[in-house]
Amino acid sequence: MRVPAEGTLRAAATFVATLGVGVAAYIAIAEADGGAPACFAGGGGCETVAASSHSELAGISVAAIGIVGYVLLLGAALLRGDGARLAGFGLALIGFGYSVYLTWLELFVIEAICQWCVASAVLMTTLFAVAAARMLAYVGTEP
Amino acid sequence: MSEGGNGERRERLVKLGSATAFLAIVAVAVLVVVSQSGSDGGDASSIEGAAEVRAELRGIPQRGLVLGDPEAEVTLIEFGDLQCPVCKVYSEEIVPQLIESKVRGGEAKLAFRNFAFIGEESVDAAAAAIAAGEQGRGWDFVELFYRNQGAEASGYVTDEFLTAIAAGVGVAGIEKWDEARQSDRVVDQVAAEIAAAEDLGLTGTPSFVIEGPLVDGQDVLGTPGEAGPLEDAIEDVA
């Protein structure tokens, strides 16, 4: 399969990471002061997930960690060179793996689905695919 | 750079990419381990089990702290203390069986009464449960409290903790609930429920009592260690 030009991959990663910053920022703001993001379908999934202990990691909001992750991925997408390719790949793999874990928690531990968390998981999966393609196809080549 | 040099550099970087992938996987594993090191309960900032409780009680009518069809002729009464660890075990292992086998189908209704004897925190928790019952979330409150119960009399039953439980079960009017739980009316109700337990000669929690067409008044069932004897008692008095 033909891999898109690196510029196209970087542009896609920039777009998706920006969306990710927006989604994570919305969740973080909504969860501040004990609130929860608005779930379009109702059913209380977002409130349940927000109230769960898994919405924090070592006392830090997972949404806030998400903002940091997406900002770093945005930086990796904007920068050229092998350092950015490798860093973007590594960060996206961490984000993807952790998103898989969080989705598993939603389905089987918390037993509630928050649409915003699913949206973030989809964005992170997309970023991982783009970053992996960029790293495998272009690492070691001229920027 | 020569073509061979470029190839070597790329090969080196792909190896570096593999190492990066390995480190990323290790990082995810660390995140998972940190995430799994949860609290031991009694933590207002990490209320768990709301979905489980909602699923357990879904579709069953509630009035105050009475769960089930109001027309059911048999009433199984659980005298419990929200701080009592044995009650927590019953709440998680025995009560769900009773709900599915006898309450959901309308054969019996299940009433929770507060035998709040462990301490002042138990009384606060009991009043909060009664106040939640006034908004149709009494059993949700009791069940979610048990799922997040902390160590007995350790000071975890704070206003913040009780409010987190009430919010977790969807009490819509938190201010109204807050006023009610501190009112003389509700505090007096807790005292009356404790007195009722003592009048029945109960000495511990959870203790079960049954009312039904074939019972003259109330029969004390005590604390059977499983759902079976309670189910049998419901059938016997129906």
pLDDT in tens, A68-121: 999 999 999 999 999 999 999 999 999 999 999 999 888 877 667 889 999 999
pLDDT tens-digit readout, B35-93: 766 556 777 777 888 888 988 899 999 999 999 999 999 999 999 999 998 899 899 88
Residue A53 has pLDDT above 70, yes or no: no
pLDDT at residue number A33: 66
pLDDT at residue number A89: 95
Q: Kindly list the residues of chain B whose beta carbon comes within 8 Å of any beta carbon in chain A.
A: 6, 9-14, 16-17, 20-21, 23-25, 27-28, 31-32, 34-35, 38-39, 43, 45-48, 50-52, 54-55, 164, 167-168, 170
Contact A57 B38 (CB under 8 A): no
Of A51, A112, A139, the CB nearest to B17: A139
Residue type, B136: G
pTM over 0.80: no
Residue in the structure block whose two tokens are 């404790």: B194
Residue B4 has pLDDT above 70, yes or no: no
Strand partners, B222: B208
Percentage helix, strand, coil for chain B under 3-state DSSP, each rounded to 5: 55, 10, 35
The residues, ordered by sequence, that sit 6+ positions from B200 with a Cβ below 8 Å of its Cβ are B79, B207, B209, B218, B220
Q: What is the mean pLDDT of chain A?
A: 88
Q: Pick from B53, B227, B210: which is nearest to B142 by CA?
A: B53
Q: Is the dihedral of CA B173, B178, B179, B183 positive or negative?
A: positive
Give the end-to-end CA distance of chain B in Å, rounded to a whole number.
92
pLDDT band at A37 (very low <50, low <70, confident <90, very high): confident
Of A44, A53, A94, the CB nearest to B28: A94
Residue A4 has which token pair?
């898109």
Residues of B in contact with A99 (CB under 8 A): none
Contact B28 A135 (CB under 8 A): no
If one compares B23 and A109, the residue with the highest pLDDT of the two is B23
Average pLDDT score over residue span B188-192: 96
* Of A45-49, B61-65, B214-218, minimum mean pLDDT range: A45-49
Which domains does chain A carry? 6-138 (1.20.1440.130)
Q: How far apart are CA A37 and CA A26, in angstroms?
A: 7
Assess contact for B103 and B26: CB atoms under 8 A. Answer: no
Give the end-to-end CA distance of chain A in Å, rounded to a whole number.
21
The residues, ordered by sequence, that sit 6+ positions from B149 with a Cβ below 8 Å of its Cβ are B41, B42, B82, B83, B85, B88
Residue B2 has pLDDT above 60, yes or no: no
Closest CA–CA distance from residue A142 to any residue of chain B (Å):
10
Residue B1 has pLDDT above 90, yes or no: no
pLDDT at residue number A127: 97
pLDDT band at B128 (very low <50, low <70, confident <90, very high): very high
The residues, ordered by sequence, that sit 6+ positions from A130 with a Cβ below 8 Å of its Cβ are A9, A12, A13, A16, A92
Percentage helix, strand, coil for chain A under 3-state DSSP, each rounded to 5: 75, 5, 20
pLDDT band at A142 (very low <50, low <70, confident <90, very high): confident
Closest CA–CA distance from residue A112 to any residue of chain B (Å):
7
If one compares B16 and A125, the residue with the highest pLDDT of the two is A125
Is the ipTM, as predicted for this complex, more than 0.90?
no
pLDDT at residue number B3: 57
